[in-house]
Amino acid sequence: MPMMMRRVFPILSISVFSSMLGVGIIAPLLPIYAESLGATGIWIGVIFAGFSISRTIFMPLIGRISDRRGKRKIFLCIGLFAYSLISLGYVWATQVSELTLVRLLHGSAAGMVIPIAQAYVGDLSPEGEEGTWMGYFNAAFFAGFGFGPLMGGMLTDHFDMNTAFYTMGALNLLAFSLALLWLPEVRLKKEVATDPQTSFTQMMESGVIKGLVSFRLVYAMGRAAFSCFLPIFAASYLGLAAAQIGAVLAADMLLLALLQIVGGGIADRFNKKRLIVIGNLINLSFIALIPLMQSFWQLLALCLVGSLGGALSMPAASALMVGEGRKYGMGSAMGIFTMAMSLGMAVGPIISGQVYDSWGINSVFFVGACLILLGTTVFVWLTR
């Protein structure tokens, strides 16, 4: 099994990195592009949310079908190929409605990539090493998202916005080619619960799965609020330049990616539930302290320390979900786990925006910290 993992994992990591790099590349460009097509503020929000909404719907369904079919490669390849084609849709879109449709299709394709790649890793992870391999997987995930905005900005500044979209498509076409040619199909073990009679309702009777879903949901909500409103806080209240804000966000995400590898090893050696709780306590403290920062260096230092929270909690949570996947079907479990992330990323900015309009920027971070505390409490209760 370790030999198979070493053969499969590089291709999976490239696939995940390329997918998240594509998401990151267009993240800073999409509002400007949508506005150039005549999108109002509400439509910009709908366009952003469309990706997460369609991904949320497709993730558990695709994961479930892959369990029943006993095959994963075909779904991953279809998702990567569709991803590369849909990238051209951003160039061809000339109306707000067309751009919204492209985002919905883009999210659907993403729903075939991330949970299936996670299921691959879960299927092949040796017992006792789940945290290590999921830590490597999370590192590829966060690194792609971290490098994306930097690459998107550079391509747009030196060429144009369409070049960034074409690059996104080319990267995913490369990942598709690698997966198609060199990724072996993994046959599911018979003892893994892939019985079609095992419904999502039965899966959600597991306290561990419900606890992990609550954790992943509030973690994503907190990170989404951080990503959306930290630039406003940094620019309006600290007077930071765009380059400084970009440096803070990139440093936070890239360190989070790097520390996933260390956190994975820690998750294999210590109590995973406790690591999730400790990591979440660090997360809520980091978010709650943002309004107290008064300079670029203070904010940068706080964000770097805050990365420790995700480094402890994410690999541990992923490893626990691998254990549940062995009972209920790896694709189904990873689909639900990633669906919670996607839902949090869709809902988080909406809730935070309402808080911002009602009570101001500082309240966004205080409410975000309270949500993480609530989610941590629910996790502890459900997994007790």
pTM: 0.77
The pLDDT of residue 331 is 79
Instruction: Specify the long-range contacts of residues 192-199, CB closer than 8 Å, at least 24 apart.
Output: 192/67, 192/325, 192/326, 192/329, 192/330, 193/326, 193/327, 193/328, 193/329, 194/67, 194/68, 194/70, 194/329, 196/68, 198/328, 198/329, 198/332
Q: Is 184 helix (H, G, I), strand (E, B) or coil?
A: coil
Phi, then psi, of 47 in degrees rounded to 5: -65, -45
Measured between alpha carbons, how far is 129 from 312 in angstroms, rounded to an integer?
15
The pLDDT of residue 334 is 83
**Per-block mean pLDDT, blocks of 10 residues, the chain (384 long):** 71 82 74 78 72 82 78 86 89 89 89 83 82 86 80 78 86 87 69 49 80 90 79 83 76 87 90 93 93 93 90 91 85 83 80 81 89 91 88
Which pair of structure tokens corresponds to residue 317? 């949570």
Which pair of structure tokens corresponds to residue 184? 């072996």
Measured between alpha carbons, how far is 243 from 245 in angstroms, rounded to an integer?
5
Measured between alpha carbons, how far is 84 from 166 in angstroms, rounded to an integer?
9
Q: Is 148 helix (H, G, I), strand (E, B) or coil?
A: helix
Domains of the chain (ranges, CATH numbers): 2-187+199-382 (1.20.1250.20)
Q: SS3 letters for 79-110?
A: HHHHHHHHHHHHHHCCCHHHHHHHHHHHHHHH
Give the model confidence (pLDDT) of 287-297 as tens digits: 999 999 999 99
- For residue 329, the one-letter residue type is G
Residues across the chain? 384
Q: Could you tell me which of 61, 120, 109 has the C-alpha nearest to residue 335?
A: 61
Measured between alpha carbons, how far is 184 from 172 in angstroms, rounded to an integer?
18
Per the CB < 8 A criterion, the answer to whether 264 and 126 are in contact is: no
Instruction: Please name the residues in contact with 60: beta carbons below 8 A apart, sequence gap of 6 or more.
Output: 115, 200, 332, 335, 336, 339
Measured between alpha carbons, how far is 126 from 112 in angstroms, rounded to an integer?
24
Cα angle 362-366-370, degrees, rounded to a multiple of 5: 165
Neighbour tally for 70: CB within 10 Å: 15
Per the CB < 8 A criterion, the answer to whether 116 and 69 are in contact is: no
Instruction: Please name the residues in contact with 237: beta carbons below 8 A apart, sequence gap of 6 or more.
Output: 361
Using CA atoms of 38, 41, 45, 48 in order, give the dihedral in degrees to the nearest 10. 40
Sign (positive or negative) of CA dihedral 284, 276, 23, 140: positive
Which pair of structure tokens corresponds to residue 40? 């109002």
Q: Is 151 helix (H, G, I), strand (E, B) or coil?
A: helix
